[in-house]
Amino acid sequence: MGVNAAPTASARPPVLRRLGPPLAALAAVAVPTVYIAAVDPNAPGHYPDCPFLAATGWWCPGCGGLRCVHALAHGELSGALHDNAVAVLLFAVLAVLWLRWLWAVVTGGPGPRIAPGARRWVLIALLVLVFTVVRNLPVGAGLAPPLV
């Protein structure tokens, strides 16, 4: 076998090459986050209105998401939770999954496995439905973003 022989199937690419996908994913999230941090969604006219809110008068599960990202980018966790608590929970889960992915890439271990079953999808859908209904009731007014 010569010096220029092809690598074996078990050879792994170097760590810097393996870091490409997680860093690309981070950049794909960071670029719009920087924009949202700079362009305040609380000021009218910068972003389109929610069609669900316009049609029904109800906050959809995503309403306040941009305000939530803006608040998180400025270190305002309580404001982010007020704007969209479900989005904060989703961002936390995604951050943990990304960190597990990064750790797996660096250490060469297996990446995080995401395989929610049908029961978990139903539970997630029910959570989002309950959040949507409660934030539109007087008792859940603290879960609704401010009107602009």
* 144 Cβ contact partners less than 8 Å away, ≥ 6 residues apart: 59, 63, 64, 135, 136
CA-closest candidate to residue 69, choices 29, 101, 98: 29
> pLDDT of 76-99, one tens digit each?
999 999 999 999 999 999 999 999
> pLDDT of 31-61, one tens digit each?
999 999 999 998 888 899 899 999 999 999 9
**Distances in Å between the alpha carbon of 60 and those of 19, 44, 130?**
36, 18, 11
pTM: 0.81
